[in-house]
Chain A
Amino acid sequence: MADRYQTLMNTGVGRQVAGTVGLPVPERLRRHTPGDPVAHGPVLLGEAPGGHLAKHVQQALEAAGVEVHTTPAGGDARYAALIFDASGVADSTQLRQLQQFFTPAIRSLLPSARLLVLGTPPDHGDARRRTAQRALEGFTRSAGKEMRRGATANLIYVADGAESGMDSTLRFFVSGRSAYVSGQVVTLRPDADAALPDDWDRPLAGKVAVVTGAAQGIGAAIARTLARDGAHVVCLDIPAQGEPLQRVANGIGGETLQLDITADDAPARIAEHLTSRHGGVDVVVHNAGVTRDKTLAGMDEQRWDMAIDINLSAEERINDAVIPILNEHGRIVCVSSLSGIAGNRGQTNYAASKSGVIGMVQALAPELAQRNATINAAAPGFIETAMTAKMPFGVREAGRRMNSLNQGGQPVDVAETIAWMASPASAAVNGQVVRVCGQSLLGA
């Protein structure tokens, strides 16, 4: 799983050399396995005066079995997470509350710790409040770049009326599930009808999910993670991928659906399969995608069409067919890409498709909200897959190291993010695009 440099630097000798020469040591990230506690130590929770979120955070975390401190224990105490409710910050002069809370505590962190800032959406309130709340972004992102030993920093804007919908999001960001997510901003919408699971280790129990491109790589990890969380997974891929697809499905008690998503009848066949076999669908994950790289000057029609059709147009057509059969608390989750945010040389077609996915997510979110459903996207950065293993050494190393965690992510990191979005408890998460990139320097 870990790359060679990471493995080497985590040996005794490696650490010594790194320390002497000043090389970065990529931490082995804490990742979630079923049964793990949400936090691997106590959490320190602070608030700016006038805030209204801290008590909800405390309730939600204590319900998750987390030991919450509201004053620093002092001494040798090490925290799994520092969480600051900045919703009371209504003016830029009050931003110093951040410094006063974090500066004394930032050295008292366990490995793979979490820094979480909570605020109100910067498009709410008067100009002073909006200004101050917007400032949280620069603070959190910079903190993310300063974090050591696999720690991450993220910002959650909680709209008025969304306070009680934070559970799944807090659990995600505090736990090992968000190992490779850093420097991200998520907005929770109000009045969402979240369905809290009986068993937080199996939030998708009884749900039916379909994952496209499930035969290998990130798609296979998504299928496995959704199944781990309790879902029955329909693993979809092109017929030629049937052999590995069958192994994924058989490994997780799921089922295979072999078809080409760009075929004219694909949307109808998918909908028919889900309706006849399962009476509908709860989670649709648009993961299938291809790259057909060429600089614009050398781009041919075939490469262009293929990338756009598979990565974007097919998803639009499938949405048209599956939205009508989405069950209560339905979830659509897309896979965008850092290329879709930052752009990438040789990927005008691919980046267009992946940025189109973001547009689709934002455009469909209000419609899905009306159906008590959501649509979101994860945007992976450098993820260790068979595809990235084939990259030239220089490009691969640059991709791996040019982020705050000094390493590439694992397919499961993308899968965990998608599982969080897919949870019936994540009703407040809608129209969001969350990068799974270890806070990559690209497009940040």
Chain B
Amino acid sequence: MPPTARRAAILGGNRIPFARQNGPYANASNQDMLTAALDGLVARFALQGERAGEVVAGAVLKHARDFNLTREAVLGSQLDPGTPAYDLQQACGTGLETTIAVANKIALGQVEWGISGGVDTTSDAPIAINDDLRRVLLEFNAAKTPQQRARIVGKLRPKHLIPEIPRNAEPRTGLSMGGHAAVTAEQWEISREAQDRLAMESHHNLAAAYDRGFFDDLLTPYLGLDRDQNLRPDTDVDKLAKLPVVFGDKESGTMTPGNSTPLSDGAATVLLGSEEWANARSLPVLAYLVDAEVAAVDYVHGEEGLLMAPAYAIPRLLERNGLSLDEFDFYEFHEAFASTVLATFAAWEDPGFCKERLGLDGPLGSVPRDRLNVAGSSLATGHPFAATGGRIVATVAKLLAEKGSGRALISICAAGGQGVVAILER
């Protein structure tokens, strides 16, 4: 049974264009970018001085000082300072999970409207002192006598100066995300050509969407950037085929900088409200968030690929809603890596996987490729981790609004072997 509370409406979104690491946003902090995205949303919907029920957002790479990142961004924005806010973090699932969180409170009648979102910077990344130095300093702080302190200072060694830099690797396996994805790609025999083709389509679809003004009301330029910096409108399979393998075996590997998302900076927000609130403010509803599901897989012991959790989440979501895989007008699959999307599709077409892992009688089915990421996705836009969910939700909600009616499936894989998925309808 899908949830039966009142429907939470998606009313619009705003993001700043996504930049590549150390690009135009190199000196912008998470708080700067999230505030900019919020202010653009406020301006689009004339929400200056209004008190939102809540703002929920998050970042994956976060400085210790940003413990109240979202609240600080709200205080720096044009919203009423009486707007409560909290941070939520579920790796790359953050942006969608914050949307689910706000939608659920709206559905339960706890808030009338709210804003979800996410932000990430890989340029202004938190660099911390290493654990050894941290222990020494904590000891120093706890010391009571000058003699004790002198002894502790004497323990300092050059190695203590080596900083702790955040790594794009799983703590339990030490393998990078791309490394994990390469294992999965090999296991499902996802070809380089298929990955490159998906990447090319992502760029072409995004460029076409920009050209027809699709993003006019989804995006506000920031620091001089008015389109996603990673977008290559004229890329093709030949150009992509020339790129070197960066994950997996250098010879037999298939994953390149072209079919993997680059490290990026950016922020995205989504405006949600009850139908009553939307009507009272004369804000057209783009779509409704119908239901959502989160799955996690045991990638640590090698039972499943790190990024394969959506393959489990979606069948559960479909079953609860009495839907089959082909009953959607739009499929928005986050392209962490082209191979991740294709491996998920391959799994659903595989009777063995569907029987053994999903407990189904036959294959789950195929995703019609002409309805996949029709306005481009992460391979073209870039992927500031926590910002991706907000980008996808606003994009697909607008696609549904343009079409007039329909249903969309959102899928986002996340570090830690998790997958956040949702259904939007209009």
- Footprint of B on A, CB under 8 Å? 232, 235, 239-243, 245-246, 249-250, 253-260, 263, 265, 276-279
Most buried by A among B46, B48, B219: B46
- Footprint of A on B, CB under 8 Å? 39-40, 42-46, 48-49, 78, 213, 215-217, 219-224, 226, 282-284
Q: A260-B213, A277-B282 are in contact. Are A239 and B226 (CB under 8 A)?
A: yes
Q: A239-B215, A240-B226, A279-B282 are in contact. Are A255 and B220 (CB under 8 A)?
A: no
Residue of A nearest to B45 (CB): A255
Q: Verify B220–A265 contact, CB threshold 8 A.
A: no
Shortest Cβ distance from residue B50 to the other chain A in the assembled complex, whole angstroms: 10
Q: A239-B221, A243-B221 are in contact. Are A255 and B44 (CB under 8 A)?
A: yes
Q: A242-B220, A250-B39, A259-B213 are in contact. Are A232 and B46 (CB under 8 A)?
A: yes
Q: Verify A276–B220 contact, CB threshold 8 A.
A: no
Residue contacts A-B, CB under 8 angstroms, 10 given: A239-B215, A239-B219, A240-B226, A250-B42, A250-B48, A254-B46, A255-B43, A256-B44, A259-B217, A278-B282
Q: Verify A255–B282 contact, CB threshold 8 A.
A: no
Most buried by A among B42, B78, B219, B221: B221
Cβ of B45: which chain A residues have Cβ within 8 Å of it? 255
- Among A232, A258, A277, A279, the residue within 8 A (CB) of B216 is A258
Shortest Cβ distance from residue A344 to the other chain B in the assembled complex, whole angstroms: 31
Q: A240-B226, A243-B220, A258-B220 are in contact. Are A250 and B282 (CB under 8 A)?
A: no
Cβ of A277: which chain B residues have Cβ within 8 Å of it? 282-284
Shortest Cβ distance from residue A224 to the other chain B in the assembled complex, whole angstroms: 14
Cβ of A250: which chain B residues have Cβ within 8 Å of it? 39, 42-43, 48, 78
Cβ of A241: which chain B residues have Cβ within 8 Å of it? 221
**Interface on chain B toward A: helix, strand, loop, or mixed SS?**
loop
Shortest Cβ distance from residue B300 to the other chain A in the assembled complex, whole angstroms: 44
- Among A242, A245, A265, the residue within 8 A (CB) of B219 is A242
Cβ of B44: which chain A residues have Cβ within 8 Å of it? 255-256
Cβ of A243: which chain B residues have Cβ within 8 Å of it? 220-224
Q: Verify A256–B213 contact, CB threshold 8 A.
A: no
Most buried by B among A242, A250, A259, A277: A242
Residue of A nearest to B210 (CB): A239
Q: Verify B46–A265 contact, CB threshold 8 A.
A: no
Shortest Cβ distance from residue A126 to the other chain B in the assembled complex, whole angstroms: 55
Cβ of B39: which chain A residues have Cβ within 8 Å of it? 246, 250
Q: Verify B282–A246 contact, CB threshold 8 A.
A: no
Q: Verify B43–A239 contact, CB threshold 8 A.
A: no
Shortest Cβ distance from residue B207 to the other chain A in the assembled complex, whole angstroms: 15
Cβ of A276: which chain B residues have Cβ within 8 Å of it? 282, 284
Residue of A nearest to B78 (CB): A250
Residue of B nearest to A257 (CB): B217
Residue of B nearest to A254 (CB): B46
Docked CA distance A260–B48 (Å):
25
Residue of B nearest to A263 (CB): B213
Cβ of A249: which chain B residues have Cβ within 8 Å of it? 43, 46
Shortest Cβ distance from residue A212 to the other chain B in the assembled complex, whole angstroms: 14
Cβ of B283: which chain A residues have Cβ within 8 Å of it? 277
Q: A232-B46, A253-B49, A277-B282 are in contact. Are A246 and B213 (CB under 8 A)?
A: no
Known: A254-B46, A277-B282. 12 other contacts (CB 8 A): A239-B221, A240-B226, A241-B221, A242-B40, A243-B221, A246-B43, A250-B43, A253-B48, A256-B44, A259-B213, A265-B213, A276-B284
Cβ of B220: which chain A residues have Cβ within 8 Å of it? 242-243, 246, 256, 258
Cβ of B223: which chain A residues have Cβ within 8 Å of it? 243
Shortest Cβ distance from residue B379 to the other chain A in the assembled complex, whole angstroms: 23
Most buried by B among A250, A254, A263: A250
Cβ of A239: which chain B residues have Cβ within 8 Å of it? 213, 215-216, 219, 221, 226
Cβ of B219: which chain A residues have Cβ within 8 Å of it? 239, 242
Most buried by A among B43, B44, B219: B43
Cβ of A253: which chain B residues have Cβ within 8 Å of it? 46, 48-49
Residue of B nearest to A233 (CB): B46
Residue of B nearest to A277 (CB): B282
Shortest Cβ distance from residue B201 to the other chain A in the assembled complex, whole angstroms: 24
Cβ of A245: which chain B residues have Cβ within 8 Å of it? 43
Cβ of A240: which chain B residues have Cβ within 8 Å of it? 221, 226
Cβ of B213: which chain A residues have Cβ within 8 Å of it? 239, 259-260, 263, 265
Residue of A nearest to B50 (CB): A253
Most buried by A among B39, B213, B224: B213
Shortest Cβ distance from residue B399 to the other chain A in the assembled complex, whole angstroms: 16
Docked CA distance A254–B46 (Å):
6
Cβ of B222: which chain A residues have Cβ within 8 Å of it? 243
- Among A242, A255, A258, A260, the residue within 8 A (CB) of B46 is A255
Docked CA distance A21–B45 (Å):
57
Docked CA distance A241–B224 (Å):
9
Most buried by B among A239, A277, A279: A239
Docked CA distance A184–B49 (Å):
41
Shortest Cβ distance from residue B192 to the other chain A in the assembled complex, whole angstroms: 36
